[in-house]
Amino acid sequence: MALRILEYVRPKTLEEAFELLQNEGAEILGGTTYARLSSRTIKLAIDLQDVGISDIYEEDGYIVVGAMARLANMQFHDLIMNYANGYLYDAISYVWSVQLRNIATVGGTVVPKWGFSDFITAVLALSTEVEFYKAGRMKLEDFLENPTPRKDIMTKLLIKKEPRKASFKFMRNSVYDFSIVNAALSAKEEEGKLVDWRVAVGARPGVAALSRKAMEVLNEGYDDEHIERAVNAMKEELKFADDFRWSGEYRKEVAGVLVKKAIGEVIG
Amino acid sequence: MKIKVKVNGEWKEWEIDPSDYLLDVLRREGYLSVKRACDTGTCGACTVLVDGFPALSCSVLAATMDGHEITTAEGIADEMEEYIKALASEGAEQCGFCSPGLMVMVYALKKEIENGKVEKNEEAVKRYLIGNLCRCSGYLGQQRAIFKFLGVK
Ligand SMILES: Cc1cc2nc3c(=O)[nH]c(=O)nc-3n(C[C@H](O)[C@H](O)[C@H](O)COP(=O)(O)OP(=O)(O)OC[C@H]3O[C@@H](n4cnc5c(N)ncnc54)[C@H](O)[C@@H]3O)c2cc1C
Ligand code: FES
Ligand code: FES
């Protein structure tokens, strides 16, 4: 069985879309690329392309990315290409193919919290927030660590525009495959120092998470001894599990190597 | 339900089911260059341009295309004559099933290079085309033809 849609609507406003979503069996459509792989019936499919949440712009010190922006629009936007030395431009370029990135949306990528996601790991390593129509604005890590707002619409991804150095690393069997484990790091540049480190590891195979213990260690210092301690803290703190691709134990070791390499790149 | 789409420069009005994917509709309407292979977003055989940008027609709901512009390999064949000749002279085709999707991608790539969005070098070209799989050729003939057509040294 494939995906079955009984009724399709294209509301003009977010208010209208939200009201429609409250109907039983109603669901939001992003780019429909992943929804396509499932076998279920959607009674009412709500297409958000006309509700005005596709733009990318700067506001109050944040890069704001509408939830209906396509991954490719985001990748090639000047605000993204010029941010943190093109870090996100590069990370997004590893999401499958050009043809997929031209369709897949930011909302459809963040809301399902897929473990394999490269995108979520990459944005989690920055100071990022998400905004929902009803539930409002929250830190990305709070969104990932708590139940997803039910029957709600993600409207924006907000990336704080601050001077950050960042690095994204992954391990996969070939470039055109899913990450078996991935890691992203960033630190803020302040008066010649690197502060406010963020360490995210994804595809463990669970969804990306921050290693707060590793962040604490790096905030104390980033010489060789601190780097070693940060890597060990990350390996102790985060859960790694087996799946059909790799064992959790192997993932953990590789994650350690990726984090160490990424710290090296951020330090420069 | 009804959708209006501009296909290869001509407006069409089609009756579709809300569950139809663009690939199903295009093939049903006779655009047979658009191929179904993996049907999961991986192989690129179904690639068409949506509003000028390459997209996987197997993964886009046809209903969402109302008001949009679609270009298939049929619509660019004349402009791509040099590329087709390069494919032939490099012996780059075997069964040919992947060729229309790849041609659409090479067309888009040429425009991206002209707009300065993609660099004109081997690495950038290979990365742009990563989503087009070919099960027969081993890629080398295609690579020679594409580099020749784009002028990649
Ligand atoms: C073949 C394939 C390969 C992929 N490879 C990679 C990869 O290498 N790396 C990677 O990081 N990702 C990868 N992805 C994931 C991809 O980046 C997208 O995340 C995914 O395809 C979904 O995007 P979409 O916009 O099509 O979402 P859809 O399929 O339309 O939606 C997904 C879910 O999100 C919900 N949703 C969508 N938008 C909203 C919103 N605004 N508010 C609330 N709910 C919403 C929908 O209801 C649905 O449940 C891959 C996907 C596919 C299909
Ligand atoms: S048929 Fe669409 S990507 Fe393979
Ligand atoms: S020539 Fe047969 S799939 Fe490419």
pLDDT tens for the 268 residues of chain A, in order = 589 999 999 999 999 999 999 999 999 999 999 888 889 999 999 999 999 999 999 999 999 999 999 999 999 999 999 999 999 999 999 999 999 999 999 999 999 999 999 999 999 999 999 999 999 999 999 999 999 999 999 999 999 999 999 999 999 999 899 999 999 999 999 999 999 999 999 999 999 999 999 999 999 999 999 999 999 999 999 999 999 999 999 999 999 999 999 999 999 9
Of residues B59, B105, B132, nearest to A33 (C-beta): B59
Whether A229 and A253 map to the same domain: the answer is: yes
Residue range B46-54: mean pLDDT, rounded: 98
Helix axes A248-267, A224-237, angle to 10 degrees: 150
Give the whole-angstrom CA distance, residue A127 versus residue A180: 24
Are residues A130 and A181 located together in one domain of the fold? no
At residue A118, what are phi and psi to the nearest 5 degrees?
-80, -35
Sorting pLDDT into bands at 50, 70 and 90, what band is B153?
A: confident
Coil/strand/helix, residue A180: coil
CATH of the domain at A255: 3.30.390.50
Same domain as A110, residue A41? no
Ligand nearest to the CA of B48: 2
Contact check, Cβ <8 Å, B108/A5: no
CATH number of the B76-150 domain? 1.10.150.120
Would you give the DSSP letter of residue B64?
A: G
CA distance A192 to chain B (A): 33
- Amino acid A5: pLDDT: 97
- CATH number, position A19: 3.30.43
The superfamily CATH assigns to domain B2-73 is Beta-grasp domain (3.10.20.30)
Q: How many CB pairs under 8 A join A and B?
A: 81
Angle among Cα A97, A103, A107 to the nearest 5 degrees reads 110
A103, closest residue in chain B (CA to CA) = B55
> Does one domain contain both A121 and A66?
yes
pLDDT of residue A2: 84
Residue B60 has pLDDT above 70, yes or no: yes
Name beta bridge partners: A70: A105
Tell me, yes or no, whether A171 and A247 share the same domain: yes
Nearest CA residue ID for atom 1, ligand 2: B39
- Closest Cα to residue B73, out of B27, B13, B139? B27
A79 and A95 in a single domain? The answer is yes
Q: How many angstroms separate the CA of residue A81 from the nearest CA in chain B? A: 11
**Based on the domain organization, do A226 and A253 belong to the same domain?**
yes
On whether the CB atoms of residues A86 and A48 are closer than 8 A, the answer is no
Pairwise CA distance, residues B111 & B9, whole Å: 18
What is the rounded average pLDDT for all residues in chain B? 97
3-state helix, strand, coil in chain A (%, to 5): 35, 30, 35
CATH number of the domain encompassing residue A107 = 3.30.465.10
Do A85 and A175 share a domain, yes or no? Answer: no
Whether residues A106 and A184 share a domain: the answer is: no
**Long-range Cβ contacts of B20-24 (<8 Å, 24+ apart):** B20/B61, B20/B62, B20/B63, B21/A36, B21/B57, B21/B58, B21/B59, B21/B60, B21/B61, B21/B62, B22/B48, B22/B57, B22/B58, B22/B60, B22/B61, B22/B62, B22/B65, B22/B70, B23/B57, B23/B58, B24/B62
Element (H, E) at A120: helix A118-124
Residues of B in contact with A33 (CB under 8 A): 41, 56, 59-60
Would the CB of B92 count as within 6 Å of ligand 3? Answer: no
- Quick one: tokens of B80? 């791509």
- Chain A residues in contact with B131 (beta carbon < 8 A): 96-100, 176
Cβ within 8 Å, pair B105-A99: yes
CA A161 to chain centre: 16
Residues A88 and A101 in one domain: yes
User: Per this entry, what is the length of chain B?
Assistant: 153
Q: What is the pTM of this model?
A: 0.97
Q: What's the gap in Å between B58 CA and the centre of ligand 2?
A: 6
Return the pLDDT at B75.
Answer: 98
* Residue B42 near ligand 2, beta carbon < 6 Å: yes
Strand order in the sheet with A62-66: A56-59, A62-66, A154-160, A128-132, A136-139
Domain with CATH 3.10.20.30 in chain B: 2-73
Strand partners, B49: B54, B71
CA distance B89 to chain A (A): 27
- By three-state DSSP, how is residue A213 classified? helix
Q: Is A4 left (phi over 0), alpha (psi -120 to 50) or beta?
A: beta
> How large is the average pLDDT for residues B70-91?
96
Residue A142: which domain range? 56-160
Tell me, what's the pLDDT at A35? 83
- Residues A205 and A175 grouped into a single domain: yes
The contacts of residue A265 (CB under 8 Å, 6+ apart) are A167, A185
DSSP line for A241-260:
---SS--HHHHHHHHHHHHH
**Together in a domain, A42 and A102:** no
CATH 1.10.150.120 residue ranges for chain B: 76-150
Domain count, chain A: 3
